[in-house]
Structures are given as C-alpha cells and as structure tokens.
C-alpha cells in the first residue's frame, strides 16, 4: 500500500509517498510560501529536484498540486488517487487525550482542536492539512500521529511542574514532551541493531537538531524527556533558550520595557546558540566561526554540549543506569565532535568511543568500542517512515 505522509505547517507542507511493502520513498517534496505566492519542490525517488513556482493561496490548493505532481505523466509515481491507500498526518500536540496514533474521524478532529491551546502555532496548521486532504480524498483513510503520544507513559513525578495543582486540573499545564515519533523510532532501531530486547532496556535518546530534546526510555516506554508544556523547555537549542530561571522574564521585562509576547519571542527565536554567539543558529556556522577564533561561537557550542551532558547525567540517575545512548537528528547524526566531547565526560561509566566508527556518516552504527560498558549509537531518524508504519498498522 502507498501511504502519503503529510507534515503541514502554517505556510509550508512537507510530503512523502511511501510504499509500505518496500518502505521505499516513491516521491517527496515540500510546498512553500502557501498563502504568499507558492512554490513546490518535488523529487521522484532519488531523482533531481523539480522546483515550480505555482500560486497556492490555500493549503487545499497546495495538496491538490502535490496530488497532481504525484500523478503527473512524466515525473509522477501513481496513475490515480486510488493508489494512495492512506494518509498519515503529523500532529504536534495530542495533549492527554491521545496516547497513541489514531484513525481520523470527526470526533478525533474535535479532540485535536481541543488541544489547539497547547500548541497554537502548530495544531491549527496540522488541522488545515487534515481538512484539505479530507476534501480532496474523501474516501481515503487518514491517521493522526502525534509528537507528544510516545511521552504519555511518563509518570506523574516526571510530568508535573512545581506549580499550584489547580493549573494542572484546570488547564492541563504539565510536561508533554515532543519529538516522540523520533525518540520511539530511534530507540526501537537501536535495540534491533544491538540485538537486545527493547522491552527490557534502559536507553537515552538525544534528538539534536535545531529543536533538540533528550528522552529517557525504560523498557520501551518514555519515562522522562527534556521538553515540557511547549518545545521551549530543556536543552539550549538553535534559537530557543531551553531551561532558564523563570524570574528572568520579569527582570528583562522591567529592564527593557517589554511585554510578555516580546519576551516569548526572544526566548523562542533570539536565544539559544544563536543568541549566545550572535553568529548563527546553524551549528556548521558556529563550528567554522569557532575554528576561526570567534570566542562567543566557541562558548555557545560549549554551553550547548554541557547542557546535553547534564541531561544525560540526570537521566542516567533517573533510570538507575543506562544500557545505550543514541544520537540522532541534524547535529546528533553529523557532529562527531559533539558526540565525543559528551561521551568523554561519561568515561567514568566505562563509556569508550571508537574514533573510526564515530566518523562514519549516514547509517545506523554503534560508535562505542566492543569493551564499552554502555553502548553508544548513531541512528539517523526517519519520522516520515515512522508515521507511515503507524498509519499502516491502523488501516491494515
Ligand atoms: P530541525 O528538524 O529541528 O530543523 P535538523 O534535525 O534538520 O533540525 O538539524 C539541523 C541542525 O543540524 C542545524 O543546526 C545544522 O547545523 C546541524 N547540522 C547538520 N549537518 C551538520 C554537520 N555536518 N555538522 C554539524 N552540524 C550539522
């Protein structure tokens, strides 16, 4: 069965058509600048990327263009829409309602709408994509796969904040965690690669991209993770501050005469390694700036790595040990210096990194030495494939 995976944002829409039998990506791409002017980037298999400027005032038109591209006589991969067996939608926030993926119907859509408050930038955009697909492919089953679902197994002691309980009762203010599809995919894959039983392992997954989070996985379940009510908590990220003393908000507000919206914008978009370095949120830029003697860029990298290390340390304590530590996403997959710096600080656990394996790119690999007491792995994440698998499992 071919499964269309859709990740719909407010002005962009990423898609992949995956053959669930072979798990091959038949075609993929992105619609950008929806509602502005419109551009579709389309790639058949491993072929050349085709970029077409095309007006797309609404998401419905964007999806229509995707479907046209998939059925195009020359570069298309299907002849008719009947060849799309199901659609899997990435949905950012499932609140406490959704602890797993679910077939979309009107009631589920209403449930997702009820979570809009918790992710006002993301959920409404995800829903627009869902409605657009529903209109264009009314007979095709659709599934919602939530970023938060994997973390719904966290115990209360991990997810509760030290706030008056009524805020949890009334508004469901608690830690939810994100990147769940990735943490789940990577931890399962690591267990497979190590040939160890997923259901009885202690793992720590470091998803380090522009957005970054760490997850403690015990016996196949998320028991703690670094992001919270929103993706702002936890690690120092590309442009997000991660954990800070909440009193800083009032302090800056008073010093600079700013309102809460401006401060949240600073914490989300002007902080992190970008804010510290003043150079870039892209770690490649930071590394080259640091290599050229830029001290603030070097400091930003050091601060980022130190926070990663501290979270790993705290999760080793929470898990009372660890069998495997996994690195994934843009930086986790591509930055051997980050991995070796972090792991060298864990040498007391008997962790030893194999230099040669640590320099390999683009494949699932164990980068610790055979004698290392804790296994360390790099597992390239594949959230689209994970969404396609979840979708298939529900519609089969
Ligand atoms: P997101 O999905 O959150 O946008 P990604 O997982 O795509 O993020 O990761 C993007 C980050 O990965 C960027 O900051 C980029 O600098 C970093 N990255 C990608 N390749 C490398 C590399 N070779 N060395 C260091 N960092 C890299």
Asked whether residue 303 is assigned to any structural domain, the reply reads yes
Residues 141 and 204 in one domain: no
Asked whether residue 186 is assigned to any structural domain, the reply reads no
Rounded to whole angstroms, how far apart are CA atoms 283 and 235?
14
Residues 134 and 273 in one domain: no
Asked whether residue 388 is assigned to any structural domain, the reply reads no
Residues 285 and 136 in one domain: no
Residues 49 and 136 in one domain: yes
Q: Which residue's alpha carbon is nearest to atom 22 within ligand 1?
A: 334
Please give the distance, rounded to the nearest whole angstrom, from the Cα atom of residue 272 to the centre of ligand 1. 14
**Active-site position among 53, 82, 117, 147:** 147
Whole-prediction pTM: 0.95
CA dihedral 225, 340, 287, 382 (to 10 degrees): -50
Residues 138 and 210 in one domain: no
Please give the distance, rounded to the nearest whole angstrom, from the Cα atom of residue 209 to the centre of ligand 1. 5
In this predicted structure, what is the pLDDT of residue 287?
95
In this predicted structure, what is the pLDDT of residue 378?
98
Q: Write down which residue in 128, 146, 164 finishes a domain.
A: 146
Asked whether residue 188 is assigned to any structural domain, the reply reads no
Asked whether residue 171 is assigned to any structural domain, the reply reads no
Question: H or E segment at 296?
Answer: helix 295-319
Residues 252 and 342 in one domain: yes
284 is in an annotated binding site: yes
Residues 208 and 133 in one domain: no
Model confidence over 261-276: pLDDT tens digits?
999 999 999 999 999 9
Residues 224 and 312 in one domain: yes
Domain hosting residue 330, numbered range:
197-378
Asked whether residue 161 is assigned to any structural domain, the reply reads no
In this predicted structure, what is the pLDDT of residue 10?
85
Q: Which atom of ligand 1 is nearest to the CA of 212?
A: 3
Domain of 92: which CATH number? 3.30.420.40
In this predicted structure, what is the pLDDT of residue 320?
98
In this predicted structure, what is the pLDDT of residue 121?
84
In this predicted structure, what is the pLDDT of residue 120?
87
- The tokens describing 387, both together, are 């969404």
Q: Write down which residue in 146, 175, 210 finishes a domain.
A: 146
In this predicted structure, what is the pLDDT of residue 317?
98
Note if 147 is an active site residue. yes
Asked whether residue 99 is assigned to any structural domain, the reply reads yes
Answer whether 129 contacts ligand 1 (Cβ < 6 A): no
14 is in an annotated binding site: yes
The number of folded domains in the chain is 2
* Surface-to-core class of residue 67, CB atoms within 10 Å of its CB (0-12 exposed, 13-18 middle, 19+ buried): buried
SS (H, E, C) 231-263: CCCCCCCCCCCCCCCCHHHHHHHHHHCCCHHHH
Model confidence over 364-390: pLDDT tens digits?
999 999 999 999 999 999 999 999 999
User: Hey, which of 7, 186, 210, 287 would you mutate to test ligand 1's pocket, going by the most ligand atoms within 8 Å of its Cβ?
Assistant: 210
Please give the distance, rounded to the nearest whole angstrom, from the Cα atom of residue 85 to the centre of ligand 1. 33
* pLDDT < 50 stretches in the chain: none
Asked whether residue 131 is assigned to any structural domain, the reply reads yes
Residues 138 and 204 in one domain: no
Q: Which atom of ligand 1 is nearest to the CA of 281?
A: 14
Contact predicate 243/214, CB 8 Å: no
């Amino acid at each position: 069965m071919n499964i269309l995976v859709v990740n719909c944002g407010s002005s962009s829409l990423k898609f992949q058509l995956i053959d669930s039998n072979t798990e091959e990506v038949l075609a993929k791409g992105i619609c950008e600048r929806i509602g502005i002017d419109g551009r579709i980037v389309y790639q058949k298999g491993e072929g050349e990327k085709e970029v077409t400027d095309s007006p797309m005032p609404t998401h419905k038109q964007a999806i229509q263009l995707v479907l046209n591209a998939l059925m195009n006589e020359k570069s298309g991969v299907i002849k008719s829409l009947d060849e799309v067996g199901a659609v899997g939608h990435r949905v950012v926030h499932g609140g406490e309602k959704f602890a797993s993926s679910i077939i979309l119907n009107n009631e589920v859509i209403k449930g997702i709408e009820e979570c809009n408050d918790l992710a006002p930038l993301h959920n409404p955009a995800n829903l627009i994509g869902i409605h657009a697909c529903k209109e264009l492919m009314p007979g095709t089953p659709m599934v919602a796969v939530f970023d938060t679902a994997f973390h719904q197994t966290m115990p209360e002691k991990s997810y509760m904040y030290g706030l008056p309980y009524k805020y949890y009762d009334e508004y469901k203010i608690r830690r939810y965690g994100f990147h769940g599809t990735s943490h789940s995919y990577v931890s399962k894959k690591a267990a497979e690669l190590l040939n160890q039983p997923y259901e009885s392992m202690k793992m720590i997954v470091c998803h380090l991209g522009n957005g970054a989070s760490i997850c403690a996985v015990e016996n196949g379940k998320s028991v703690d993770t670094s992001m919270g009510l929103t993706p702002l908590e936890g690690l120092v990220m590309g442009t997000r501050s991660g954990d800070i003393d909440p009193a800083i908000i009032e302090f800056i507000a008073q010093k600079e005469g700013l309102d809460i919206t401006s401060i949240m914008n600073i914490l989300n978009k002007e902080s992190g390694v970008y804010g510290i370095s003043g150079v870039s949120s892209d770690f490649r830029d930071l590394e080259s700036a640091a290599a050229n003697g830029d001290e603030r860029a070097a400091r930003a990298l050091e601060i980022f790595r130190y926070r990663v290390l501290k979270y790993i340390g705290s999760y080793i304590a929470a898990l009372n040990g660890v069998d495997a530590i996994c690195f994934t996403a843009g930086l986790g997959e591509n930055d051997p210096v980050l991995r070796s710096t972090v792991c060298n600080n864990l040498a007391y656990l008997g962790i030893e990194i194999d230099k040669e394996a640590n320099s390999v790119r683009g494949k699932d690999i164990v980068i610790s030495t055979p004698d290392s007491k804790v296994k360390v792995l790099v597992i390239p994440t594949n959230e689209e494939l994970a969404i396609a698998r979840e979708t298939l499992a529900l519609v089969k």
